[in-house]
Every structure is written in structure tokens, then in C-alpha cells.
A and B are shown apart, each in its own frame.
Chain A
């Protein structure tokens, strides 16, 4: 079976300094891959390149048949297929501060997928419940704890049902008990057939919950 995500010799330079040099990795459906390495080694940069939030200078990225080429980031109108394929959970969650947890999740359902409000809310409520934050649906982001905010952010990224989920340092703000719970959640998602690429410097979490670890070095 072909890989869901192929990163082939990806290179990113800032001001002629190499941030990423020839990174290659693959993520298959149902697989959890941890991208490991110390801070500043380019883990987040790699995720951002896959999500087309930043340009890269060399190499190739293919997500389920959709290829990104080196050079400037294409306009959003040409990235529609990619947006359907990739979900990204930011390190600081970046929940929309002016929307409730529920509305954070329904936003893409209603305005990208064109679902009616009632359908979107049904889907979002189920999603939040499956991530054990169903009771927080009407809370504002500022009222959520770190763990709750992360689950809502995962629900938001999963709402359009992308096959590939990227997560940036998901354990950064979690206590040990929450880490195990997160690991269980991720395993559950992979069992649904999704591919997960997790950028982390948490060795223990990576060893405990990832199928494969890709080590980045300076």
C-alpha cells in the first residue's frame, strides 16, 4: 500500500542557514510516526511545510497524491485538495478566541463543507464527546484547561475528516496522566485508518505511543 504522506529530501533555509536538510520520511494509513529531536531542529518547520503554511527550498511533499513543490506557498484557492487531506493541531492550540468550543469545531463543517448548522452541530457534538470534552461544548477557549483546549483543537482539526493529522508538541502542557490519555486517543484515531505525524521532544511519549520514531539531528 502506498504511503499517505511522503516527504522526500525536504530542505528549508532561512537567510542561507539550513533549518531542515534533506528530511525524508513516510507515514502510512493507520500509522503513528513521531518526529523527534531537540528544540530548534526543524520539527515544527517540517509540519508547517506539509500544511503549506510555509515555503520550502528543495525536495518534495506528497499527501495522498497531492504534491507540493519548492517555492512560494501557492494561493489558498489551489490548496483546496491539500486542506481536505491534512489537519494540524497547533502547539498552543490556536482555538478561535471569539467562538465557543462547539463553534470552533463547526466552523469548517459549515463554511468549508457546506453543512447545515444542525448537521454540523450534531457531528461536532459527537466528535467532542468522543474526545471526552462533550460537556465543554458551550465553553469559551479562555475557560478551558490546557488538556481540554487540546482536545477541542484535535476535534476542530478532525472535523473535516482529513486522513492525515499533524500535531506539534502535543505533550508540552500535559501532566503524566493526561499524556497516557492522549496516547490512547491517538491510538484510537490511527485505528480508524488515519496517519499521524507527531512532532515532539518527549522521548518517553514517542517510545510509548508511536509506531515509528524519526530522529532529527542538528
Chain B
């Protein structure tokens, strides 16, 4: 009896939740993307506003839902989240791409954007398109159409694509001279220009667009019936002018939107974006994954070399130095070990930009190297202390100087104690090097994320990425174990 009551309660709760979800439209977007798409309302930061917000509300009303509930999701994860069922409709400057169409239920396009180039004013006369950017560094958001275009252009024109996780720093780095151009949607470019205080100061936007693209809504593949309803709502909004009003309110209306509406209403079904590749095979990604793996390995090796050199200096200072130097090195070690590596990366790359503008790769090596130096220093200090006193005394009675003792006896013996933990640290460094993608270095993990976003699945890219990491770290772990066995201090 009790059981059946419990079951009934459980059932009614489930049904209640279902009817609640019918009453509201749950939609997802990235408020970090900001205005005019979706942004936190300055008057009430618990609410969002923007043209995508108003479109979502319009769709919810037309579908007979009482409300549109917003779910925050990282922009590059919208596809995966909508398939997982985190929300019903993804709407946040989502681009119309063949892959997205193949993998999910995608609405008709509701906005046409232009991929535009931003350059420094002095370059505006020389640069007119991607073809003029041979050997130059061009920034954009990762996992976007623009990024795919830059990667394609890398092979054809030899430019250097740089991927960012947000759309503010590409323009900041353009002004700072770290990159030579930024390729992004015209809405984002114009917003950045307003933020920078108008044209001519810092950078200009080239009038000629590099490509055209469309914003769409994305639903789970199984939701194609609902998608058709959303399409009907969008068409109606195009016909009755509500969509135009929304865009005008957010100052993004132009003639090309009117032309888009006409085309969409005439054809009935959306035209496919042209020019993008239609088949995504694993093989096509292998070269870029291999390149990214090489970046990971190079960053790790250079960082470790720096960590060893600085770590040795720190350890020597802590073992041999005068009191004040020991205090200073202890402070360094504790400061570095006590704060996140991610923070240190940001400080070195962005924080120091006013003093010295380090290239991203150098900043990555510096941050990782200086971070790991603190850990290495502790290993070396422990190893130096572990060399038996009798060995040092024997060296003294032979007449070796302190420096000779360090170089010929203490150092080599300490190295034996240090090698195994150093190898372990290097394995950890290999994996920590994935953090440097936040300062635009595309390494293995970042490349995998881009790959996964492109094909809309993490299964194969994730397995491939794991295999590459393991191929690098397992031999090292084996080496560490062997070193440990072979050079275990004699009893």
C-alpha cells in the first residue's frame, strides 16, 4: 500500500515536471557573448536581454508557452547541451553550418551576418582580404565558421590562425600589435569598435565582407517536429514585421535582412551555406591533431627545460644562499604553488601586456616553466639534502672545494634522487600544457575541442586525444619507474 502511494507520488511529480516544461520554453545561450545577442540585464542581472532573448520570447508565446526560461551554456557547447536535453532550443548567434544541419534539427536562418576583417588603421590600405594576410596572425573565436575559414586559408594563403575563447581579447591584441587582423561577425566587430571609442582609433573594419553567414536556432535531432513549428513562427515573424522590429530595437537591422527574409519566405526551406566542406572524416583531422600534439610536446619540453634551470637556481639559493635569499626563494615557491596556474597564465599574457607584449607561445612557455620551477626547486632541495653527509665529508677530506663538491659529488648524486620525481612532473606538465589554450596557443586538447565541436561529438575526438596523450606519457611513466628501481639509494 505504502509502495503504491509512493509510486503515485513519484508519477505525479514526474508528470508535474513534464507539464511544467510544456508551460515554458527552456532555451539556452551564452550571456558571455553579450549584447546585442544575449546579455545580463544591467538593471536586473538575474535577467537576460538581447535580440536572441526577444526572439526566444516571441517563439515561446507563439507556441503557447507561458514563459521562456533561459539556461546559461558555454557558446561552443550549445550543440552538445541541446542534444543532452539541457534545454529545447539553442539561440545565441548560432551559425548555420552543414555539419550542424547534419547532426541536429536546425531552424530556418533568421539573420544574415557578414564575416568582416578588422585591421589596424595603418594596414587598411594594404589589406583587402585574407589573401593579403600571408604570414600574418589573424585572430578569431574558436569553433566558429570564421575559424574554419582561417584554417582553410592557412593552407591556401599561409596566414596564421589564432583562436580565442572570447571576442574581447582578439581586438585588444589587434590594437596591441599581437595580431594583425581579426575575422569575426560584423555585429561583434562593430560592438568592439564602439567599445574602442570609434573608427580610426586602434583599428578599422574593412567594408568588403570575407563571407556571409546566417544565425539559426538549434534543436535536438529528435525534435524535428518542434523545429518545424519554430520555423513556422519565425516565418510568421518575418512576414508580420515583428522580427524586423526586434532587430531595429537592437540596431542590427539592415537591407540584407529584408533580402534574407524574402528569400526564406520564397524558398520555404533554408538554403545551405555555400563553400563549407560537407564531409568530416577523421582522416581530415589527423594532420591538425598531429600538429597540435607537436605543439603540446614542444611547449612541454621547453617549459620543462626552463623549469629545470630556474628550479636548480632556486634550490641552490635555498640550500647554499644567505638568509635573505632563502626567504625570497621560499616566498617565490609558496606564491607559485599557492595560486592557480591559470591565473599565472593570464597575468603573464594579459596582465604584463602593458609592460612587455610577449608572444602567446613564449608567454605559455614562461608561465608553465616558472610555475613548474617552484615544484622542481622543492624536488632538488630534497634531493640535495638526501645526499649522505659522509659523502660530502669524504669529498672535503680529498681537498675538493665547495663548488667542486656540488658539481662532482653532491649534484650528480642528487640527480639520481631527483630523476624519477622529475619524470613524473614532466608527465603532469604534458597534461597541464592544455591550459595554455586560454592564451590562444592551439595545442592538443584545444584542437580536439575544435574537432569535437565541428563534428558535434566528443566520442572519437576524445578517444583520439586520450590516445595521443597516453602515447606521450606512458613511456615516460615507465622510464620513471625504471629510474626509481635502478637508482634507488644503496642501503
Interface of A toward B, CB cutoff 8 Å: 51, 53, 76-77, 80, 83-84, 86-88, 90, 92, 94-98, 107-108, 111-112, 141-142, 156-157, 159-160
Verify B391–A112 contact, CB threshold 8 A: no
Chain B residues near A160 (CB-CB < 8 A): 398-399
The answer to whether A97 and B399 have CB atoms under 8 Å apart is: no
Is the pair A77, B409 in contact by a Cβ cutoff of 8 Å? no
Q: Is B396 an interface residue (CB 8 A)?
A: yes
Q: Which of A84, A96, A159 contacts B394 (CB 8 A)?
A: A96
Query: Is B490's CB under 8 angstroms from A87's CB?
Result: no
Subset of 30 A-B contacts with CB under 8 Å: A51-B397, A53-B393, A53-B396, A53-B397, A76-B401, A83-B397, A84-B399, A88-B394, A90-B390, A90-B393, A90-B394, A92-B390, A94-B388, A94-B390, A94-B393, A96-B395, A97-B489, A97-B490, A98-B409, A98-B413, A107-B395, A108-B400, A111-B400, A111-B404, A112-B399, A112-B400, A141-B490, A156-B394, A159-B398, A160-B398
Instruction: Decide if A112 touches B412 in the complex (CB within 8 Å).
Output: no
Q: Which residues 388-421 in B have Cβ within 8 Å of A in the complex?
A: 388, 390-391, 393-402, 404, 408-409, 412-413, 416
Which of A80, A98, A157 is the one whose CB lies under 8 Å from B412?
A98
Distance of A5 Cα from B390 Cα, bound (Å): 24
Number of B residues near A (Cβ < 8 Å) is 21
Please classify the interface of chain B as helix (H, G, I), strand (E, B), loop, or mixed, using the class held by over half of its residues: helix
Which of B390, B398, B412, B490 is A142 in contact with, Cβ under 8 Å? Answer: B490
Smallest CB gap from A153: residue in B: B394
Assembly CA distance A107 to B398 (angstroms): 9
In Å, the complex CA distance between A98 and B413 comes to 6
Known contacts A98-B412, A107-B408, A156 near B401 by CB under 8 Å: no
Report the 8 A-B pairs with minimum CB-CB distance, sorted nearest first: A83-B399, A108-B398, A94-B390, A94-B394, A112-B399, A88-B397, A142-B490, A98-B412
Contact among A53, A87, A96, A157 for B409, CB-based, below 8 A: A96
- Is B401 a contact of A97 with CB atoms below 8 Å? no
Known contacts A159-B398, A160-B399; 16 additional CB pairs below 8 A are A51-B397, A53-B393, A77-B401, A83-B397, A83-B399, A88-B397, A90-B390, A95-B394, A96-B413, A97-B391, A97-B413, A108-B400, A112-B399, A112-B400, A142-B490, A157-B397
Asked whether, in the complex, the Cβ of B398 is within 8 Å of the Cβ of A83, the reply is yes
Task: Kindly report which residue of chain B lies nearest to residue A51, judged by CB atoms.
Answer: B397
CB within 8 Å of A: which B449-491 residues: 489-490
How many A-B residue pairs lie within 8 Å, measured between CB atoms? 63
Cβ–Cβ contact B397 & A87, under 8 A = yes
Looking across the interface, which residue of chain A has its beta carbon closest to that of B393? Answer: A53
Q: Which residues of A are found within 8 Å of B400, using beta-carbon distances?
A: 107-108, 111-112
Query: Residues on B close to A: CB < 8 A?
Result: 388, 390-391, 393-402, 404, 408-409, 412-413, 416, 489-490
Q: How far is the CB of A36 from chain B (nearest CB, A)?
A: 23
Neighbouring A residues of B394 by C-beta, 8 Å:
88, 90, 94-96, 156
CB distance from B384 to the nearest CB of A (A): 14
The binding surface of chain A is classed by DSSP as mixed
B404 / chain A contacts, CB cutoff of 8 Å = 111
- Please name all residues of chain B whose beta carbon is closer than 8 Å to the beta carbon of A96 when the two chains form the complex: 391, 394-395, 409, 413
> Which B-chain residue is minimally distant from A166 (CB atoms)?
B397
A88 CA to B409 CA, complexed, in Å: 17
A156-B398 contact, Cβ under 8 Å, with A92-B390, A111-B408: yes
- CB closest chain-B residue, reference A86: B397
Nearest CB on A from B69, distance (A): 68
Determine the distance from Cα of A76 to Cα of B490 in the docked complex, in whole angstroms: 28
- In angstroms, Cα B394 to Cα A159, docked, is 13
Residues of chain A lying within 8 A (CB to CB) of residue B490: 97, 141-142
A191 to B398, CA, bound (A): 23
Do residues A76 and B396 form an inter-chain contact, with CB atoms below 8 A?
yes
Nearest-neighbor residue (CB-CB) of A88 within chain B = B397
Residues of A within 8 A of B401 (CB): 76-77
Given contacts A111-B404, A142-B490, contact A94 B391 (CB under 8 A): yes
Residues in B whose Cβ lies below 8 Å from that of A51: 397
Asked if residues A108 and B393 are in contact (CB atoms below 8 Å), the reply is no
Assess the B408–A76 pair: CB atoms within 8 A: no
Expressed in whole angstroms, the minimum distance between the Cβ of B433 and any Cβ of chain A is 32
Residues of A within 8 A of B489 (CB): 97
Which residue of chain A is the closest to B403 with respect to CB atoms?
A76
User: What's the Cα separation between A142 and B399 when bound, in Å?
Assistant: 24
Q: How far is the CA of A157 from the CA of B490 in the complex (A)?
A: 22
* Cα separation A51 to B394 with both chains bound (whole Å): 10
Q: Considering only CB atoms, which chain B residue lies closest to A73 in the complex? A: B396
Q: Return B443 CB to nearest CB of chain A, in Å.
A: 37
Max chain A CB contacts within 10 Å: which of B393, B394, B489, B490? B394
Q: Considering only CB atoms, which chain B residue lies closest to A84 in the complex? A: B399
Contacts of B395 in A (CB 8 A): 96, 107
Task: Write out the residue numbers on chain B whose beta carbons fall within 8 Å of the beta carbon of A111.
Answer: 400, 404, 408
- Contact status A112-B398, CB under 8 Å: yes
Distance in angstroms from B449 CB to nearest chain A CB is 46
Report the bound CA distance from A156 to B395 in whole Å.
10
